[in-house]
Amino acid sequence: MEMTGQCLCGAVRFTAQDVAHKIGACHCGQCRRWGSGPYFAVRAGSVVFEGEDNLGRYRSSDWAERGFCKRCGSSLFYRMIEEDRYIMAAGSFDDQSGFELAYQVFIDEKPDFYSFAQETKTSTGDDFFARYAALKED
């Protein structure tokens, strides 16, 4: 599915191809520091940006960077650099009506002050890194 979205101020807009409808929530400490809550994320194929001058990229780990609007600070994406895999911020899309919360990652880092009512698949940080390592060996 091709979908469009933008940051809060509209300086950065994007068109993403092959957007999944399943949303993952990441509870890791980095994501919560980045957006003050879990990161609601959706996988996308290629992404084309408008307003690239206002798009900041922060290298948050050896393997990934996080994209944001330099003007308004909106979180826009998490991207695995080597794989060129975009995991877009669900909240940045213009139409979010088809999204469904399907899984939660880094559940072991979730603080106690919130939890979701929906039943979803969950995985820990260790699960995530194990899967990532397996991906690398392919």
Residue ranges in contact with Zn ion by CB under 5 A? 7, 9, 11, 26, 28, 31, 69, 71-72
| 15, containing H or E segment | strand 13-16
- Give whichever of 20 and 28 is closer to Zn ion, judged by the CB atom: 28
Would you call 22 helix, strand, or coil by DSSP? strand
Q: How far is the CB of 39 from Zn ion (least distance, A)?
A: 5
- Give whichever of 1 and 47 is closer to Zn ion, judged by the CB atom: 47
| Strand partners of residue 79 | 65, 86
Cβ neighbours for 86, distance < 8 A, ≥ 6 positions apart: 16, 43, 44, 45, 46, 47, 77, 78, 79
Q: How far is the CB of 41 from Zn ion (least distance, A)?
A: 8
Q: How far is the CB of 78 from Zn ion (least distance, A)?
A: 7
Q: How far is the CB of 92 from Zn ion (least distance, A)?
A: 10
- Give whichever of 16 and 31 is closer to Zn ion, judged by the CB atom: 31
- Assess contact for 54 and 12: CB atoms under 8 A: yes
- Give whichever of 3 and 14 is closer to Zn ion, judged by the CB atom: 14
- Give whichever of 3 and 74 is closer to Zn ion, judged by the CB atom: 74
Q: How far is the CB of 80 from Zn ion (least distance, A)?
A: 12
Would you call 27 helix, strand, or coil by DSSP? coil
Q: Beta strand 55-59 with 22-26: parallel, antiparallel or unpaired?
A: unpaired
Task: Tokens for 39, please give them.
Answer: 């990161």
